Amino acid sequence: MTVGTLQTAVGLRGELREGEPLAQHTTWRVGGPARRFYRPADTEDLAAFLRGLDPAEPLLWLGLGSNLLVPDAGFAGTVIQTQGCLSRMQRQGANGIFAESGVSCAKLARFAARQGLVGAEFLAGIPGTMGGALAMNAGAWGGETWAHVARVRTIDRQGRVRARVPADYAVGYREVKGKAGEWFLDLVLELRQGDGEAAMARIRELLDQRARTQPTGVPSCGSVFRNPPGDHAARLIESVGLKGFRIGGAQVSERHANFIINTGDARADDIGRLIEHVMLAVEQRTGVRLVPEVRRIDGGIK
Ligand SMILES: Cc1cc2nc3c(=O)[nH]c(=O)nc-3n(C[C@H](O)[C@H](O)[C@H](O)COP(=O)(O)OP(=O)(O)OC[C@H]3O[C@@H](n4cnc5c(N)ncnc54)[C@H](O)[C@@H]3O)c2cc1C
């Protein structure tokens, strides 16, 4: 339950809420309240907020919540929301685009095309922020976020900002390992000059393709599991007869078996139990252990 905007510490310009329902900030539309929820005014304000936090306070960074399973009990710590807050974007140099971490992937893809820069079209259908795309190495149709990253800036709990380059990270399929205790503030993507109109047409084509093959208009988190090497999680799930299988309000999509949808009244617990059920059934019947792509958050409010 939202109990309103609280008085923030002296000098802070962002918005601090208590008990913010996280179901309103996740694309699965599930998840209990965050003990505290901060929307920074800008980078400097975020740094000041972080410096003032108790070092033991659990922190969760939230973009558009399109890859997060937050428990029904909520999050017993502070959530930092970037979407709608850290949202500056501009052209940088001949081939670069600077974007803060709260810029949506869709906005960046379109901005790049309008600037006559190509290579970012794959981002158009990913319903997250650039911060989330960096954290996940989001990708689609053969494109991957980190293939285009020139540099990033990070921030730590002391509010210290650092410039980093791709070589500072171990980047894999939907996986990025960097220095612990640092989060993404902004990035510069390096693209190629090309035909912006053709890039816009490609964006429309990719969005149409998505609409034809994936469930749209129902709460989901996209693909729940990573594709195992040389195979597809959706094929494996379908092969064990789980398409359409439900637990409570959570259902394996009839349209795309690697999607779990909230049919209306799902709880995070239904989704969590369905994920485990799918993993167990696929492993018992095919020997393949599926690895979830979605991030499951623990830390229920005590
Ligand atoms: C319908 C649908 C289709 C999808 N299709 C795709 C697809 O084609 N390809 C794909 O890769 N993904 C896809 N996804 C999943 C999701 O959109 C991506 O993983 C996306 O990158 C998540 O971004 P987000 O801003 O929503 O991150 P969130 O879900 O808010 O967070 C995801 C993780 O990133 C961390 N994080 C967020 N911001 C930051 C930051 N600034 N610094 C450090 N860590 C941060 C969070 O703490 C969390 O661990 C899809 C999801 C949906 C709902």
Question: How far is the centre of ligand 1, averaged over its atoms, from the C-alpha of 49 (Å)?
Answer: 24
- The answer to whether the CB of 40 is under 6 A from ligand 1 is no
Q: Which residue has tokens 């939907």? A: 174
Q: Could you read off the pLDDT of 26-52 as tens digits, one per residue?
A: 999 999 999 999 999 999 999 999 999
Given 174, 202, 220, 267, the catalytic residue: 174
What is the Å distance from ligand 1's center to 219 Cα? 14
Q: Which of 225, 257, 215, 220 is nearest to 239 (CA)?
A: 257
Q: How far is the CA of 64 from the centre of ligand 1 (A)?
A: 7
Q: Where are the beta strands (DSSP E) in 40-181?
A: 59-62, 68-69, 75-81, 89-92, 96-100, 117-118, 139-140, 143-144, 149-156, 161-164, 170-172, 175-177
Q: What is the rounded distance in angstroms from the CA atom of residue 78 to the CA atom of residue 55?
A: 11
Query: What pLDDT is recorded for position 298?
Result: 82
Pocket test for ligand 1, best of 88, 136, 206, 224 (most atoms within 8 A of CB): 136
CB-ligand 1 contact for 178 (6 Å cutoff):
no
- 28 in contact with ligand 1, CB cutoff 6 A: no
Place of tokens 């709460």: 219
Q: Report residue 275 CA to chain centroid gap.
A: 18
CA of 222 to the centre of ligand 1 (A): 9
The answer to whether the beta carbons of residues 152 and 164 sit under 8 Å apart is yes
pLDDT tens-place string over residues 114-152: 999 999 999 999 999 999 999 999 999 999 999 999 999
95 lines ligand 1 (CB under 6 A): no
The pLDDT value recorded for residue 43 is: 96
| 174 has catalytic annotation | yes
Q: What is the pLDDT of residue 216?
A: 86
Q: How far, in Å, CA of 73 to CA of 299, rounded?
A: 8
User: Phi and psi of 262, rounded to 5°?
Assistant: -95, 110
| pTM of the complete model | 0.95
Which residue has the least CA distance to atom 51 on ligand 1?
A: 222
Q: How many CA atoms lie within 13 A of 54 on its CB side?
A: 6
Question: Which pLDDT value is given to residue 10?
Answer: 63
Pocket lining: 104 vs ligand 1, CB cutoff 6 Å: no
Q: Across the chain, what does the average pLDDT equal?
A: 94
Atom of ligand 1 nearest to the CA of 25: 30
Where the chain has pLDDT below 50, the residues are 1-7, 302
Q: Is 223 a catalytic residue?
A: yes
Nearest-CA neighbor of 22 among 36, 11, 12, 10? 36
Q: Is the CB of 146 under 6 A from ligand 1?
A: no
Of 38, 66, 214, the one to substitute when testing ligand 1's pocket (max ligand atoms within 8 A of C-beta) is 66
